């Protein structure tokens, strides 16, 4: 008789509680998010503007701190260090947001307080994520809290791009990488947690919001490649 499989935190990959397919989905999804992070950092340094919404950046950074160093995922050491890799990449994004994130604010009167606002939001989320898990609301790898903030992040991305002129610094590559990554992670959720309907609803919301954001990116890029001249626009309205 085959002995029962018991996971130990020293194992690099937890094949006791997760199937190879589930591990593969999360692993590939992580790679695509790393690419998105790299693009955001590159463009932030190049254009001195960060496409990630500043509120989402604060909650995202807090989640990675808590799950990378305090709670620790049960998927194995490989994924623990993967989250820490996200965290260290996010250090650069967080620093860029502290430096340039005030440009996202519409009200100039708030800009002098931007750094304090962002730091306060970041500090607020740390105990929220910690107690959300400790009191039994989260999964053993933080999926529910991750998707809660991803829904907010995805909605803020749409608001952010629509509030800026067409042609602003929003990367199509980053948008596609986020869409692919979140879709793979969502498939993982449906396979691993078939009875967690609230979490499944969050994945559907993220999928729809990400798809809308990619569509907005595509339509803006198409309009910049083929601009409508004033006379053409008047003719269309007349028809």
> pLDDT confidence of 2, banded at 50, 70, 90?
low
pLDDT at 118 exceeding the cut of 90: yes
Distance CA 189, CA 144 (A): 10
pLDDT of residue 225: 56
Q: Could you tell me how many residues make up the chain?
A: 239
> pLDDT confidence of 238, banded at 50, 70, 90?
very low
pLDDT at 227 exceeding the cut of 60: no
pLDDT at 232 exceeding the cut of 50: no
Mean pLDDT of 87-101: 94
pLDDT at 236 exceeding the cut of 50: no
pLDDT at 81 exceeding the cut of 60: yes
* Residues in contact with 134: Cβ distance below 8 Å, sequence separation at least 6, in sequence order: none
pLDDT of residue 3: 62
pLDDT at 235 exceeding the cut of 50: no
72: left (phi over 0), alpha (psi -120 to 50) or beta: left
């Amino acid at each position: 008789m085959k002995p029962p499989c018991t996971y130990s935190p020293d194992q690099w990959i937890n094949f006791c509680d997760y199937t190879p397919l589930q591990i593969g989905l999360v692993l590939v999804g992580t790679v695509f998010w790393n690419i998105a992070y790299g693009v955001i950092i590159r463009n932030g340094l190049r254009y001195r503007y960060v496409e990630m919404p500043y509120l989402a950046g604060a909650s995202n950074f807090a989640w990675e701190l808590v799950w990378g160093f305090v709670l620790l995922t049960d998927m194995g050491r490989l994924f623990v260090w993967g989250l820490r890799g996200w965290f260290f990449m996010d250090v650069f994004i967080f620093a860029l947001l502290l430096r340039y994130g005030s440009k996202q604010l519409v009200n100039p009167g708030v800009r002098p307080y931007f750094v304090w606002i962002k730091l306060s939001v970041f500090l607020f989320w740390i105990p929220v994520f910690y107690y959300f898990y400790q009191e039994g609301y989260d999964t053993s790898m933080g999926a529910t809290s991750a998707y809660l903030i991803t829904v907010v992040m995805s909605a803020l991305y749409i608001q952010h791009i629509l509030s800026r002129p067409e042609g602003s610094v929003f990367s199509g590559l980053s948008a596609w990488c986020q869409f692919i990554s979140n879709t793979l992670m969502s498939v993982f959720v449906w396979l691993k947690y078939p009875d967690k309907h609230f979490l499944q609803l969050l994945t559907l919301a993220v999928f729809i919001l990400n798809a809308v954001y990619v569509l907005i990116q595509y339509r803006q890029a198409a309009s910049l490649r083929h601009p409508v001249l004033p006379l053409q626009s008047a003719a269309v309205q007349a028809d």
